[in-house]
Amino acid sequence: MKINSQHLSSTQWFIILWLLGFFALAIIAGLFRLLLMFAY
């Protein structure tokens, strides 16, 4: 299977966006937890 960096398939885009969303949520949750720890 030849990988062309110029064109990503819809499946690859879906996986990339899913991972980005997951990491974004994890980072936001971590920051929120830190804020709660400092607030109380």
More confident residue, 20 or 3: 20
For 37, which DSSP code?
Answer: H
40 falls in which pLDDT band (50, 70, 90)? confident
The pLDDT value given to residue 36: 95
- Averaged pLDDT, 4-30: 90
User: Is this structure's pTM higher than 0.95?
Assistant: no
Average pLDDT over the chain, rounded to an integer:
89
CA–CA gap between residue 11 and residue 35 (Å, rounded): 36
Residue 35, pLDDT above cutoff 90:
yes
